[in-house]
Amino acid sequence: MDRQFIPRSLQRSSFTRFAAWILPWILLLGLGLYAMYLCLAEGLNQTNMDNRFAFGLWIYLDLTVIALGAGAFFTGFLLYILRREELKAVINSAVVLGLICYSGAVAVLMVDVGQPLRAWFTFWHPNTHSMLTEVTFCLTCYLTVLAIEYVPVVLKNRKLRQIPRFLVFEFELHKVMPVFAGIGTFLSFFHQGSLGGLYGVLVGRPFAFREVLGIWPSTFYLFILSAAAVGPSFVLLTTWLVQKLSGKQLVKPEVLRFLGKVSGWMLIVYVLLKTVDTLYWINHTAPAEGAPAYTFYTSPGFGTWILFAEIILLGLLPAIMLLSKRLRERPAVLVSAAFLACCGIVMNRFVMTIQTLALPTLPFDQMMSYVPSWQEIATFLAIVAYGVVLYSLSFRYMTLFPQERDIRQ
Partner 1 sequence: MEQTAQSKSRYGMVIDLDRCTGCGVCMVACAVENNVAPAEQKATERTGVTWLRVYPVSNGEGFPANDSVFIPMTCQQCGNHTPCVSVCPQNAVEVDPSTGIVGQIPQRCLGCRYCMTACPYHARYFDWWDPQWPEGTEALLNPDVAPRMRGVAEKCNFCHGRLHAARTKAAAAGRKEIAAGDYVPACVESCPSRAIVFGDLADETNEVSRLSRSINTFQFLPKLGTAPKIFYHSAKEWVRKMADRAPLA
Nearer to partner 1, 185 or 348 (CB): 348
CA angle 399, 188, 74 (to 5 degrees): 50
Q: Per CB under 8 A, does 9 bind partner 1? A: no
Nearer to partner 1, 130 or 144 (CB): 130
**Could you tell me the CA-to-CA distances from 257 to 5, 181, 236, 329 in Å, in that order?**
32, 23, 8, 7
Closest distance of CB 115 from partner 1, Å: 5
Q: Per CB under 8 A, does 357 bind partner 1? A: yes
Q: How many residues bind partner 1 (CB under 8 A)?
A: 55
Binding window for partner 1 (CB under 8 A); candidates: 62-70, 121-129, 162-170, 213-221: 121-129
Q: Per CB under 8 A, does 41 bind partner 1? A: no
Binding window for partner 1 (CB under 8 A); candidates: 163-171, 327-335, 351-359, 397-405: 351-359
Q: One symbol per residue from 234 to 273: x for binding partner 1 (CB under 8 A), - otherwise; what is it? A: ----------------------------------------
Distance separating alpha carbons of residues 69 and 98, to the nearest angstrom? 4
Closest distance of CB 188 from partner 1, Å: 19
Q: Which of residues 165-224 bind partner 1 (CB under 8 A)?
A: 198, 201-206
| Cβ burial, residue 85 (10 Å; 0-12/13-18/19+) | exposed
**Could you tell me the CA-to-CA distances from 340 to 182, 237, 267, 388 in Å, in that order?**
29, 10, 11, 22
The beta strand positions in 173-273, using DSSP E, are 212-213, 216-217
Q: Per CB under 8 A, does 284 bind partner 1? A: no
Q: Per CB under 8 A, does 291 bind partner 1? A: yes
Q: Per CB under 8 A, does 62 bind partner 1? A: no
Q: Per CB under 8 A, does 365 bind partner 1? A: yes
Q: Is 354 left (phi over 0), alpha (psi -120 to 50) or beta?
A: alpha
Radius of gyration of the chain (CA): 22
What are residue 393's phi and psi, to 5 degrees?
Answer: -65, -45
| Number of Cβ atoms within 10 Å of the Cβ of 23 | 11
Out of 19, 54, 212, 393, the only residue in the binding site for partner 1 (CB under 8 A) is: 54
Nearer to partner 1, 111 or 398 (CB): 111
Instruction: Specify the length of the chain in residues.
Output: 409
Nearer to partner 1, 55 or 80 (CB): 55
Q: Is 43 left (phi over 0), alpha (psi -120 to 50) or beta?
A: left
Amino acid sitting at position 101: C
Closest distance of CB 53 from partner 1, Å: 8
- Could you list the residues that contact partner 1 (CB under 8 A)? 43-45, 49-55, 112-115, 118-119, 121-122, 124-127, 129-133, 136, 198, 201-206, 288-292, 295-296, 298-299, 356-357, 359-367
